[in-house]
Amino acid sequence: MTNAPDQQTGPLTIAVIGAGGKMGMRVSNNLAKTDHVVRYAETSPAGRDRVTAAGRPVIDSAEAVPGAEVIVLAVPDLALGPVTEQLVPLADPGAIVLTLDPAAAYAGLLTTRDDVIMGVAHPCHPSLFLQRASAAEWADTFGGIAAPQDVVAAIESDDPAKKSILEAVVRVLYAPVIDVHWVTVKQLAQLEPTLVDTVACMVGRLLNEALDEAVHTMGVPEPAARAILLGHTQIALANGLRGDNPFSDACLIAMDYGREAIIKDDWKKIFTDEELDQNLARMLHLDTISR
């Protein structure tokens, strides 16, 4: 955790659009602790109530954007097209418009301007192998509260000053942050959704379904099934991702059976551009992705 943002850039004017949503509240909680001048915009009544209950004033998006150096779009991915169509024309020249997920940017749904810089920054969430030092760090599985995490980001500008501003802001939004990894928008879209949603999150839910089967189909007492699954999930990930221990010979045979029974031979097609487009089209409720 290096480079305190305020020391790097000085106070900035930052607009948070969608400040009452899940990410909007998270990033606003962290921005509110800094010297940055933060403007909070939110349209839904429930969202506005959340912002004001946190002691933050709500203003209209059209007022929040002019004069802002960084505009954080914490609105749903499906709203990013209309929201950028409305707000990007209001941004100052040189402003940075930041989205929190790459899908809409990669799908070409955003309104852009030559003199406005587009960026994307997605939190990695605290690592499974993070050495946590406190109960607060253990409780913070999402990140952005107590447990340090990395961030993967993309910026569509070669200007190092803009990259530095964006990194400083991203380090606040998702604080505490260890490293910010810079990739292209396309690479970010390959990581999220393909690597993490399509594979990792799917496997997480599959584990829960397997637990359910052990309890309800096979009739194993739930505490026994849960205990053995949670411990073995840790060792499976430590061995599988980090090589901590070799899997036993018998386990390797059972793993082969699982792979043959569960995984399709052509599963790695999910890493092709065509499948990425289909995946994103489904996520964004589009017939096709056209860039």
Ligand X SMILES: NC(=O)c1ccc[n+]([C@@H]2O[C@H](COP(=O)([O-])OP(=O)(O)OC[C@H]3O[C@@H](n4cnc5c(N)ncnc54)[C@H](O)[C@@H]3O)[C@@H](O)[C@H]2O)c1
Nearest CB to ligand X, comparing residues 17 and 117: 17
- Name the residue with the smallest CB distance to ligand X: 21
Q: Where are the alpha helices (DSSP H) in 88-201?
A: 103-106, 135-139, 160-173, 185-189
Q: How far is the CB of 123 from ligand X (least distance, A)?
A: 6
Least distance (Å) from ligand X to the CB of residue 69?
Answer: 19
Chain centroid, CA 281 distance in Å: 18
CA distances from 221 to 230, 234, 283 (A): 14, 21, 37
| Nearer Cβ to ligand X (20/148) | 20
Q: What stretches of 156-235 adopt beta strand conformation (E)?
A: 177-182
Nearer to ligand X, 152 or 225 (CB): 152
Q: Which one, 24 or 148, has the nearer CB to ligand X? A: 24
What is the separation of C-alpha 217 from the centre of its chain, rounded to a whole number of angstroms? 35
Which two structure tokens, joined as six digits, stand for 170?
């991203």
Residue 22, both tokens: 């899940």
- Contact of 73 with 18, CB cutoff 8 Å: yes
Nearest of 141, 139, 150, 138 to residue 176 by alpha carbon: 150
Q: Nearest distance from residue 253's CB to ligand X, in Å?
A: 38
Residue closer to ligand X by CB (options 85, 115) is 85
Residues engaged in binding ligand X (CB under 6 A)? 17-18, 20-24, 41-44, 47, 61, 74-77, 79, 83, 99-101, 122-123
CB 96 to ligand X: min, Å: 16
Minimum distance from residue 273 beta carbon to ligand X (Å): 21
